[in-house]
Amino acid sequence: MRNTRSAANGVLGGRAAVVTGAARGIGAAIALAFAAEGARLCLLDRAEGDGLSETAARCAEFGVDVSTVKADVSLEDEVDAAIAKASENLGAIDILVNNAAILTNCRVADMPATVFDETVAVDLRSVFLCCRAVLPSMTSAGYGRIINIASQLGLRGGPGLAHYSAAKAGVIGFTKSLAREVAEDGITVNCIAPGPIDTPIAGDLSAEHLEATRLSLPLRRIGLPAEVAPTAVLLASEPGGNLYTGQTLGPNSGDVMP
Ligand SMILES: NC(=O)c1ccc[n+]([C@@H]2O[C@H](COP(=O)([O-])OP(=O)(O)OC[C@H]3O[C@@H](n4cnc5c(N)ncnc54)[C@H](O)[C@@H]3O)[C@@H](O)[C@H]2O)c1
């Protein structure tokens, strides 16, 4: 059944957005929140299976145009081809959300270099590749909103997470530099650094670990993806997002207070 709420007058009405890692979790929630606010969407993921088309179908219920493209965001050729395809579908891309990432748990002393390299490739190199691919059209349009999903672990670190924390700290540093590079082209670049959020990414963590994490948070709550998505809407919207660039916003249950 078509969603009865009209998205046509939403704060992102008519804007064109690419969201990576949109098959599930926070990426799917951001895609839905963008659709509810009227954005036209191209959703990207590498996942086999139904997640991506399910997210697309739920977004389409808001009456917006939605397409999907499969790509591995760590691979240069796949990213360039995916952004070209997204541009064919959407025209100029106004908003890019770099959300796709992987997380594994491994202590540095035991970590194969391949695990470190893969994490940095998927979680950090991908942000560079996707940003580079959209910048020419954003620059010529004189408008763009880039939102990079980092993590509070990029600010505070965590045992067994040096590779992930390093990649996410890299995303925050990359964001600040790119924000300074492209500010005069009308493009803003920001990070969202969520705290613990209930998604499949932490699938191999035990219930005891998750409960200990929950109790360590000032708000005593693991968040939901739908509680992160509104921060992305804010950064993508006008006038709400206009004055943010190079910033890191933290929907994190109080875990980090920079
Ligand atoms: N869940 C949390 O607690 C949490 C906390 C802080 C930050 N984050 C960040 O939020 C973002 C979303 O995480 P999530 O929890 O929704 O994770 P998730 O595992 O539920 O979703 C990640 C999505 O990215 C896709 N993906 C992974 N590697 C890819 C690749 N190489 N190419 C294309 N797509 C790929 C997956 O298929 C999946 O659909 C990530 O950047 C993550 O680091 C999550």
Q: For residue 132, what is the domain's CATH number? A: 3.40.50.720
The reply to whether ligand 1 has any atom less than 6 angstroms from the CB of 102 is yes
Residue 4 located in a structural domain: no
Report, as residue numbers or ranges, the catalytic residues.
Answer: 164
Residue 219 confidence (pLDDT) above 50: yes
169 inside domain: yes
Instruction: Find out whether 175 and 211 touch, Cβ atoms under 8 Å.
Output: no
State the pLDDT confidence band at 127, using cuts at 50, 70 and 90: very high
In a domain, 8, yes or no: no
Q: Tens of pLDDT along 2-15?
A: 444 457 689 999 99
Taking residue 207's Cβ as centre, other Cβ atoms within 10 Å add up to 7
Number of domains in the chain: 1
Please indicate whether residue 229, judged by its CB atom, sits closer than 6 Å to ligand 1.
Answer: no
Residue at 107 is within a domain? yes
pLDDT mean over 189-196: 98
Question: Distance from the CA of 184 to the center of ligand 1, in angstroms?
Answer: 31
Identify whether 255 is part of a domain.
no
Please state the rounded mean pLDDT for residues 220-245: 98
Q: What's this model's pTM, rounded to 2 decimal places?
A: 0.97
Residue 97 lies in a domain: yes
From atom 38 of ligand 1, which residue's Cα is the shortest distance away? 21
Looking at the domain assignment, is residue 240 inside a domain?
Answer: yes
Asked if the structure places residue 216 within a domain, the reply is: yes
Is the C-beta atom of 161 inside 6 A of ligand 1? no
Is residue 185 pLDDT above 90, yes or no?
yes
With the most atoms of ligand 1 within 8 angstroms of its CB, the residue from 201, 227, 252 to mutate is 201
Q: Percent of the chain beyond pLDDT 90?
A: 91
Q: Identify the CA nearest to 80 among candidates 147, 145, 134.
A: 134
Q: Which domain holds residue 127?
A: 16-249
Measured from the Cα of 23, ligand 1's closest atom is 39
Report CA(171)–ligand 1 centroid distance (Å): 14
For the stretch 117-122, contacts whose Cβ atoms lie closer than 8 Å and that sit 24 or more positions apart, written own/partner, are: 118/74, 119/163, 119/164, 119/167, 120/163, 120/166, 120/167, 120/170, 121/74, 122/73, 122/74
| Confidence bin at 1 (pLDDT 50/70/90) | very low
Q: What is the mean pLDDT of the chain?
A: 95
